[in-house]
């Protein structure tokens, strides 16, 4: 989620992540809410990613930053062999419950616990950019990807075209602790991700954007979903849960449809590449 002040905060949804231990604790604080309220709303995004990345029967897929397994479950339905990695043990535990037999690991993106060339497709949905070293994380994705495979990176599009980011961060930015500003260009800018991939030894093979609406059945579920994010946990600890919830309720209210559904339109940018080794 983003606002004009987003680059000043270390958020899972838009900029660099710190260590898995710190971020895993933040993002796993409300793991069940994430699993039951947040991830289901992302199905349209997951479906787009799988189609663009070429996930199909017998694909060997690794999802980096897999959360509670939303993408992986859909990929398994397509006949893929699945594995995942996340920073949060509580999120990973739910993914294991939902996906019996799948290998779901907890750890750092820069040190993937998988063998070289083990996967045909490695995806990162708003994930690779949260590594302490993005280039190293992409390099690890390249290492575990088959030489003729695909590394697929998805990020938010232009901020003004991402209602989910704007809604949440307009509410949260004043409630977060201060954080140093970043001079790095937005990952949504053409060429930025491609340059990082090239440094990691990847050869970009395609890029683009797509629009997807993230929708929740009602205000209560939307609030539960928003509040499950690690950035909200940080804001609650800094400014108090009541203030944060009130601010989120006000932000959500602007996106309620006549039928009570909360729907937010978003743009996403993607780049896919192959290992250059």
Which residue spans within 175-226 are E strands per DSSP?
A: 202-216
The set of residues, in sequence order, having a beta carbon less than 8 Å from that of 159 and lying 6+ positions away, is 2, 3, 4, 6, 165, 166, 186, 188
pLDDT of res. 9: 34
Other C-beta atoms closer than 10 Å to the C-beta of 169 total 26
> Six-digit token pair at 199?
């440094």
pLDDT values of the chain reduced to their tens digit, one per residue, 277 residues: 333 233 333 333 333 334 576 667 677 678 999 999 999 999 999 999 999 999 999 999 999 999 999 999 999 999 999 999 999 999 999 999 999 999 999 999 999 999 999 999 999 999 998 888 999 999 999 999 999 999 999 999 998 999 999 998 899 999 999 877 777 899 999 999 999 999 999 999 999 999 999 999 999 999 999 999 888 888 988 999 999 999 999 999 999 999 999 999 999 999 999 998 6
pLDDT of res. 74: 98
Assign domain 6-158+181-214+268-275 one CATH number from 3.20.20.70, 3.20.20.140, 3.40.50.150, 3.40.50.10490.
3.40.50.150
The CB-side HSE value for 107 (13 A sphere, CA atoms) comes to 14
Return the percent helix, strand and coil in the chain, to nearest 5.
45, 25, 30
pLDDT of res. 19: 59
**Residue 98 near residue 65, CB atoms below 8 Å:** no
pLDDT of res. 201: 96
pLDDT of res. 155: 97
How far is residue 128's CA from residue 137's CA, in Å, rounded to a whole number?
6
pLDDT of res. 10: 34
How far is residue 274's CA from residue 197's CA, in Å, rounded to a whole number?
9
pLDDT of res. 50: 98
Other C-beta atoms closer than 10 Å to the C-beta of 242 total 9
Which one-letter DSSP state was computed for residue 185?
P
């Amino acid at each position: 989620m983003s606002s004009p002040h987003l680059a000043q905060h270390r958020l899972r949804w838009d900029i660099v992540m710190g260590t898995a231990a710190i971020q895993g604790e933040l993002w796993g604080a409300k793991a069940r809410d994430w699993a039951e309220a947040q991830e289901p709303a992302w199905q349209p995004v997951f479906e787009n990613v799988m189609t663009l990345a070429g996930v199909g029967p017998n694909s060997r897929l690794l999802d980096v930053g897999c959360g509670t397994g939303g993408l992986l479950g859909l990929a398994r339905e397509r006949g893929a062999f699945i594995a995942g990695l996340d920073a949060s043990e509580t999120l990973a535990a739910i993914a294991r419950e939902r996906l019996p037999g799948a290998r779901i690991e907890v750890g750092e993106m820069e040190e993937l616990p998988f063998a070289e060339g083990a996967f045909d497709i490695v995806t990162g949905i708003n994930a690779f950019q949260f590594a302490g070293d993005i280039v190293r994380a992409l390099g690890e994705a390249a290492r575990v990807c088959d030489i003729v495979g695909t590394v697929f990176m998805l990020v938010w599009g232009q901020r003004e075209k991402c209602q989910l980011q704007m809604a949440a961060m307009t509410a949260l930015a004043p409630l977060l602790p201060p954080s140093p500003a970043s001079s790095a260009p937005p990952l949504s800018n053409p060429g930025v991700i491609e340059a990082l991939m090239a440094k990691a030894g990847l050869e970009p093979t395609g890029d683009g954007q797509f629009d997807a609406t993230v929708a929740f059945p009602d205000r209560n579920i939307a609030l539960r979903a928003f509040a499950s994010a690690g950035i909200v946990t940080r804001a609650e600890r800094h400014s108090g849960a009541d203030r944060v919830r009130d601010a989120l309720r006000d932000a959500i209210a602007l996106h309620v449809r006549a039928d009570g559904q909360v729907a937010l339109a978003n743009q996403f940018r993607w780049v896919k590449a192959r290992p250059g080794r």
